[in-house]
Chain A
Amino acid sequence: MDLFASLGLGFSVALDPINILYCFIGVLLGTLVGVLPGIGPTATIAMLLPITFSLNPETALIMLAGIYYGAQYGGSTTAILINLPGESSAAVTAIDGYQMARKGRAGPALAAAALGSFFAGSVATFLLAAFAPPLARAALNFGAPEYFSLIVLGLLVSIALAHGSIIKALGMIVLGLLLGMVGQDIYTGTPRFTFGLRELFGGLNFVAVAVGVFGVAEILRNLENEHEREVGVKAVKNLWLTRDDLKRIIMPVLRGTGIGSLLGVLPGGGHILSAFASYSAEKRLSKHPEEFGKGAIEGVAGPESANNAAAQTSFIPLMTLGIPAHPVMALMIGAFILQGITPGPNVINEQPALFWGIIASMWIGNLLLVVLNLPLVGLWVKMLSIPYRVLFPAIVLFACIGTFSINQNIYDIYAIAFFGIVGYLLIRFGCEPAPLLLGFVLGPLLEEHLRRAMIISRGDPSIFVTRPISATLLVLALAAVLVAVLPSIRKKRAEVFVEED
């Protein structure tokens, strides 16, 4: 099937009225959580996973994908209007966007962000459509050793790009891997770490872990210091860009799209990194670098394009290899599994309607987002005045009811409380929760492929370095860790990752 026939199939799925409706709900919710600081897309998708259980696989994944890229849009609105990034990758947008808003140019800033995002999202989706099939074909030749090395690469790169202490990030990954081992052993059926509870034989519930570590822990974190937000800009007027503005943003948008598409494929926070990379590129290339930090429209258009491009291309490793690039993608894996589909190179052949439907829906979603964000910006400004004290009881309840509704298993809810407090303590003591979730999702896969590879090689570990693809992947993994430890890069990382969700 050639690309256009495939996309035709995709659009026939995506244009189904029900799917359009859920795509709209997805981007709407995404924008909402992107706008509201304090809840990020990770917690939201974790809470909504149970709800999607009753939908078709296509519909469910279209909606969840919409939440993710919708949040990238919404985050910029808050960044521009109140200098507070609603989503971590919008931290850069706040630098120049808020300055533009203070000069009364909030409208053009929002318009530049939205148009740049739309362009970047559309182009990156096309790249996803073009590159995913060949990559998936290549991945079909992967055996157990290659998968093992690939997972190791994914885990280690996520540390290199995450912020904070590297040893702590490693510890969180290993802890995640161990938690992933709770339940019956895949080869022998021996129950492990189950305290004799039948309910734990199937393993810890993914949603419960995610909701606990990201949702409940975040709430406890926010209750440490309660403060109200202030909205500086009450009304936004004049959304149109002048001819001069348009001329100034064309190149930054193009460059941002390129940078974002490339970096988005990398595991571990590619969208945050790409926004920063684009900003520094624009500043270096600009004829007026002194304007940056004081309201340069290039500083809004470039990074916003970059983070949206990255949001789309980060689906590439998920849809072709079944390897999540960051926690939100880990949740998407959970969504696939809930629907009875194993994500990986086979999805494109076994479920073409699902695969191409999700891709096609991204164009529709991006279009919906422009409509949602520009004319309705006043609504989002109003949203900012919902106090947190009303929001968080809703989050706690949705988490409990949603998790309970998946399996009617009360131990899943006890697990939320357990992971809420453990997650809170670890975050409080300076550990990032994202690597833990990645480890948890990849743990069973890692063990399965390791054991299979060792059986293939009759117990000889050199199989991982004698097979070329596997060896290359392991060298890349080693390089990622070395790069992360180098002092000059460490300093840059400290600057880059000042804000995280």
Chain B
Amino acid sequence: MALKASRNDLASGAIFIAFGAYFALEALRYDFGTPFRMGPGFMPVVLGGILIALGIAVAAKGLGKPDEEAAPPWPLRGIVLVLGTILFFAATIRGLGFIPVVLIAAFATALSSSRNTWLSALIISAGLCVLCLLIFVVGLGMIVPLIGPWLRF
């Protein structure tokens, strides 16, 4: 069944409402204060309320007006690999150390483009690893273990 509403407007409205609700509800637990002496909860509650209202307005505006263009395809492979790489980087940079993490992360990100083959991804990751070492560790003196404690015997 075709949806008789703008998918974009409904979705962005929902995101606004979700964020607004989170901030407003969480801020209710803080001291609200008075207009004279506003507490830490004052601004977030007010702004959260405004954001919920705006979210409803955005969604309402989209009703009955379907999007003219078809939605572009979801870059699922990109989302999983790019975001996964960033999370992997955060989780392992202290344990594995700079060199292994950069090699693996560059390889995985490169693979998220359907135009990269395994070989080109390998070349890109090796090149980037050298480049990053030169820029950040040699050039900027970043203090980070090159090979982390997890890999030492």
Contact = CB atoms under 8 A, between A and B. Distances in A.
A223 B75 contact: yes
B113 A388 contact: yes
Interface stretch (A7-15, A177-185, A237-245, A276-284): A177-185
Interface residues of A, number: 66
B31 A190 contact: yes
Given A401-B102, A429-B15, A54 B140 contact: yes
A394 B135 CA distance: 12
A425 interface: yes
Contacts of A216: 82-83, 86
Chain B at the A interface: mostly helix, strand, loop or mixed? helix
A193 interface: yes
B11 interface: yes
A5 interface: no
A34 B71 CA distance: 28
Contacts of A388: 113
Contact of A455 (B8, B36, B85, B143): B36
Contacts of B94: 410
B79 interface: yes
B90 A413 contact: yes
26 contacts: A174-B50, A177-B43, A181-B47, A188-B31, A193-B27, A223-B78, A226-B114, A387-B115, A392-B109, A393-B125, A397-B105, A401-B102, A405-B136, A408-B144, A410-B90, A410-B91, A410-B94, A414-B86, A420-B86, A425-B15, A426-B12, A426-B15, A429-B12, A430-B8, A450-B43, A454-B36
Given A54-B141, A223-B75, A400-B89, 19 more contacts: A165-B58, A181-B43, A192-B26, A192-B30, A192-B40, A223-B82, A224-B75, A226-B114, A388-B113, A390-B110, A393-B109, A393-B110, A397-B105, A402-B136, A404-B89, A405-B144, A410-B94, A426-B12, A429-B15
A64 to B, nearest CB: 16
Contact of B140 (A387, A392, A405, A455): A405
B105 A171 contact: no
B26 to A, nearest CB: 6
Interface string B10-44: 01100110011001001100110011111110111
Interface of B: 7-9, 11-12, 15-16, 19-20, 23, 26-27, 30-31, 34-40, 42-44, 47-48, 50-51, 54-55, 57-58, 61, 71-75, 77-79, 82-83, 85-87, 89-91, 93-94, 102, 105-106, 109-110, 112-116, 120, 124-125, 128, 131-132, 135-136, 140-144
A181 B26 CA distance: 12
A104 interface: no
Contact of B124 (A174, A393, A405, A431): A393
Interface string A352-372: 000000000000000000000
A-B pairs, top 5 by smallest CB distance, nearest first, are A459-B36, A223-B78, A185-B40, A413-B90, A223-B75
A223 B74 CA distance: 9
